[in-house]
Structure 1
């Protein structure tokens, strides 16, 4: 079967939800492996022209939510700065290399390839093995700023709760919310956009509090898939920490956030689709699907039988 086209936009900063799953059986990503994978993600997030908005590293797969920038952001001076930060103050990048790095450091595929290959080398060395670690190529979804983004981030941060690993999402340290709460966003690893710009909040502590409230209210909903947050826990947290306003009711459906090509308003989905439809070997018209429980948010599934890389 032909490979399905990957939707990418390289003419403007774009947010992607990416997910990759291991090819090995069981849960090979234990604590030490998750720590190392997180260190690779952190290091490469400072090298590439990317904002890390959210993440969750599970036992057999991981999620990243990133904003990729365009070549306009990759000035010569900034490339040299990042190159030296990556390889040492004495590292020298030749003038003829700048063009190649400018293209590479804004490329989603190159970013993911470096993460996955770097971890595979580490895993194989420490397990004295050879061969593949990751399964099929990573999935990616284009995500609109605002409501679509905050709902996606909540879905990602609630993975450990749904899997029964923790009762409270911030107790899981290999997730965006866990990192924010447990470290105070050490080294500024995560961009604090979180899809909450329309709330006009600029205090980092208040942004985290409001986002945490949103995640709790989302996690309390019975989605029919996986575990939900303990209602009594949510009640206590709401009484102790939350204001009277409530986040929009949301019933997350995994397929929208992992198998879609585009997520956002109907206008956003239409705009992005018109810009990437040349990647598809299909004459099908646009297909919009409302995301259940999230008013005004739509999904466009990738089309079966399409080709591309």
Structure 2
């Protein structure tokens, strides 16, 4: 039996969607772009429900999203996104069966510290996976929108950036993310010694 997710009006979640058996769900640039377009379409489709994507990171075999709900449960939005992407992927690659491992995983974000830490965790995912040395090098996350290198699309970074002094918020967010990044780099160097 599927356990019912905890939800209340305005709840925010860290959502993870994984490929079945950890298989890749994105094989080329078009796949990444299509998934982002589906998110945008789903947000428009459910515009009256006022869902907000705060940040994201699309990895080869999984996705991290931070989503704020308003008046409706998360499942409507995630169901639409996953169903549309599965149809696209199965048709493009002549794939049969489940694309995703189970249903999506969601963790309720319960306080400001968890909100900030989760955004940093999401944006550092490609660094931890040793795909890039710096999160700004990874193009399939919202990090470059947060720091002003790219125009904001599908996300609302203000939910995170409003924690920082307005005038310097992009620079302060970079320092916040990179403080964890520097610790991670030190750990890697220690492992090599």
**TM-score normalised by the chain length of structure 1:** 0.54
Structure 1 counterpart of 2:16: 19
Tell me how far apart the structure 1 counterparts of residues 152 and 19 of structure 2 sit (CA, whole Å). 27
- Cα deviations by residue, 1:227-274 (Å, 9 ceiling, x for unpaired): 69xxxxxxxxxxxxxxxxxxxxxxxxxxxxxxxxxxxxxxxxxxxxxx
Q: Following superposition of structure 1 onto structure 2, how do residues 1-309 of structure 1 map, counting pairs within 5 Å? A: 2-9=1-8, 12-24=9-21, 26-30=23-27, 31-48=29-46, 49-70=50-71, 106-180=72-146, 181-186=148-153, 189-201=154-166, 203=167, 206-222=168-184
What is the distance in 2 between the residues matched to 1:47 and 1:224?
Answer: 45
CA shift for structure 1 position 4: 3.6
Q: Measure how far apart 1:145 and its partner are.
A: 4.6
Query: Which is higher, the Rg of structure 1 or of structure 2?
Result: 1
- TM-superposed CA distance for 1:136, in Å, is 0.8
* Structure 1 residue ranges (4+ consecutive) displaced by more than 6 angstroms after TM superposition: none
TM-aligned CA distance change 1:3 to 1:158, over 3 Å: same
Contact 1:14 1:69 in 2 (8 A): yes
Task: State the alpha-carbon separation in 2 of the partners of residues 199 and 183 from structure 1.
Answer: 19
Deviation, structure 1 residue 149: 0.7
- The count of residues paired between Structure 1 and Structure 2 equals 184
- RMSD between aligned residues: 2.4
Higher helix proportion (structure 1 or 2): 2
More moved, 157-166 vs 211-220: 211-220
Flag structure 1 segments of 5+ consecutive residues without an equivalent.
71-105, 229-309
Distance 1:36 1:207 in 2: 30
Contact 2:25 2:62 in 1 (8 A): no
Deviation at 1:122, TM superposition (A): 0.4
Provide TM-score, normalisation by structure 2: 0.84
